[in-house]
Structure 1
Amino acid sequence: MSEPRRRAATRSLMDIALPILVFLGAIGLWEAVVRLNDIQPYLLPAPSLIAQTIVKDWPLLSGSLWVTVKITFSALLLAIAGGVLLAVLFSQWKWVERSFFPFAVILQVTPIVAIAPLLLVYLDAQNAVLVCAFIVAFFPILSNTVIGLASADRSLVELFQLYRASRWRQLTLLRLPSALPYFLGGLKIGGGLALIGAIVAEIAAGSAGQGTGLAFRIAEAGYRLNIPRMFAALVLISVTGIAIFLFFSGLSQLLLGRWHDSERDHET
């Protein structure tokens, strides 16, 4: 292995190992503080007790985890389909963008915690949670894709026009490849926001006694003062969010790593 590659491999290993070591140190400090101060589980459970609770309550928590993950990815898929389609329409016909983009902005700036109880009036709990997750994931994908489609090199656009390329050929051969990095950036944001939207809506549904996801388990455990289960469900939510981010970061690296500067810089 050449010296530059060896240095890059060492740097990559350190980039992975350092956050893990810091995280493990924080967990160890948390465990020590709880044990040395004899803090009761109903105030602050130790990490070891949270891990035991996850194992003990796994049959209950795993079902709720599956509900939350299924709704999150269903909403994300709908947001991808709707956001990309609408972004393409915006890029092709400016009057469509001027007509409908303000509605997307209104949905984005309206707090989802205010929308969720209203949706529960008109929809069943599962569909209300799905719509909430879709709303918060939709705008980042839409706006990033719109910016990406408009970011195509002006010289290349003029070259396509010079050769009288159709709008369809400009879109497929120039604008969509130019928009890919922006779309993947919006996807990383939208994936996390879809989970947040699902959790917020599940809390609202849980308050109405209609939820089944992890947020409902948190609310249920809070009513019963089962604090270790609350933390266990919160850990599963955090792990899910981290997994979503890492998945889309890996996808971005896979699709862009060989040709786009935003990912190539990570390899040097």
Structure 2
Amino acid sequence: MTAIDGTLKLDPEEARRVRQERFERIGRWVLPLAIMILAIWLWDRICVWNEIPQYILPRPGVVLTTLYNDAGLLFSALLVTLRITFLSLLLAVVGGVGLAVLFAQSKWVEMSFFPFAIVLQVTPIVAIFPLINIYVDNQTTKLLLCAWIVAFFPILSNTTLGLNSVDRNLRDLFKLNGATRWQQLRYLRLPAAMPYFLGGLKIAGGLSLIGAVVAEFVAGATGQSSGLASRIIEAGYRLNAPRLFAALFLISLTGILIFLVLSLISHLILRRWHESALKQER
């Protein structure tokens, strides 16, 4: 900066950087919004230009009207899906973090049990569900177990990676000062693993919703106490495309909100101390 006539003026390079940051802040919201509006407008125009009937491809306005008219049915189904989603995510966090801590304390335990976690991850849930259907009677438990299997592995793998990625010099320093395993875990390993855990949590949040919806599909859950996947199946059988699109819209919106909330939580936790959340200087 330079001072002229008692006022501060930015030099050209600093002014360019400030303008670029301002454009990026605006563009981060304006560009996606503009593209989304354009895509919706094209969707509507394609339906009009080609005279597509609404049971094949409804116009956006028809979808919004259906969402409003069927709000009671769709939002009650959404609550069922959200219950399965958040319960499975909670169980994935508890089980994944607990098992990751156990792995970090013993390499033998990690080598013995980590392959089983990989098997659960790589096996499609639609292939596992017939076994779950045989051994589990309660419908809610079936859905919860399927969603948990999908969401569990990202928490476990990321947290395990974080616990094992502690700086070796810091670990040796703790040992030289006589720190116990519990003290190393509490004051060194867990804080170091926090960014990895939060990254896995953001992935698992979306996967738990996907797992809940897929579980309802493969379970063929029906009735008043069923979730959004059942409403999609029902709408497909009845050729009620507007309701089908409205249910899909709710699922997508829910997934976006879950990701944004978890991203905000991650930012609030890491913003004061971790490089990934600190404002970078150009």
TM-score class, shorter-chain normalisation, is over 0.9
Per-residue Cα deviation, 1:201-250 (whole angstroms, up to 9, x for no partner):
101222x6467000010001111111111111011000011111111111
Among candidates 60, 67, 72, match of residue 54 of structure 1: 67
CA distance in 2, matches of 1:48, 1:94: 57
Amino acid at match of 1:233: A
Segments of 5+ residues of structure 2 without an aligned counterpart are 1-9
Among candidates 216, 220, 235, match of residue 249 of structure 2: 235
Which residue number in structure 1 is paired with residue 90 of structure 2? 77
Which residue number in structure 2 is paired with residue 259 of structure 1? 273
Which residue number in structure 2 is paired with residue 20 of structure 1? 33
Amino acid at match of 1:61: L
Amino acid at match of 1:31: D
Per-residue Cα deviation, 1:140-170 (whole angstroms, up to 9, x for no partner):
0000000000111111001001111001111
1:224 aligns with 2:244: no
CA distance in 1, matches of 2:260, 2:23: 20
Give the 3 Å change call, closer, same or farther, for CA 19–185 of structure 1 in structure 2. Answer: same
Among candidates 148, 155, 168, match of residue 169 of structure 2: 155
Which residue number in structure 1 is paired with residue 118 of structure 2? 105
Deviation at 1:52, TM superposition (A): 0.6
Give the 3 Å change call, closer, same or farther, for CA 209–63 of structure 1 in structure 2. Answer: closer
Deviation at 1:126, TM superposition (A): 1.3
Amino acid at match of 1:126: T
Question: Where is the helix percentage greater, Structure 1 or Structure 2?
Answer: 1
Which residue number in structure 1 is paired with residue 133 of structure 2? 120
Conservation of the 8 A alpha-carbon contact between 1:8 and 1:267: no
1:196-211 mapped onto 2 (5 Å cutoff): 196-206=210-220, 209=222
Amino acid at match of 2:267: Q
Among candidates 71, 84, 90, match of residue 103 of structure 2: 90
Q: Percent of pairs identical after alignment? A: 56
Query: CA RMSD of the aligned region, Å?
Result: 1.8
Deviation at 1:260, TM superposition (A): 1.5
Which residue number in structure 1 is paired with residue 193 of structure 2? 179
- Higher mean C-alpha deviation, range 138-147 or range 5-14: 5-14
CA radius of gyration, larger in: 2
Give the 3 Å change call, closer, same or farther, for CA 175–58 of structure 1 in structure 2. Answer: same
Conservation of the 8 A alpha-carbon contact between 1:147 and 1:182: yes
CA distance in 1, matches of 2:213, 2:262: 20
Amino acid at match of 2:151: A
TM-score (norm 2): 0.89
TM-score (norm 1): 0.94
CA distance in 1, matches of 2:22, 2:187: 35
Conservation of the 8 A alpha-carbon contact between 1:88 and 1:146: yes
Conservation of the 8 A alpha-carbon contact between 1:136 and 1:194: yes
Among candidates 109, 134, 157, match of residue 143 of structure 1: 157
CA distance in 1, matches of 2:100, 2:52: 53
Deviation at 1:265, TM superposition (A): 5.1
CA distance in 1, matches of 2:236, 2:112: 45
CA distance in 1, matches of 2:273, 2:29: 23
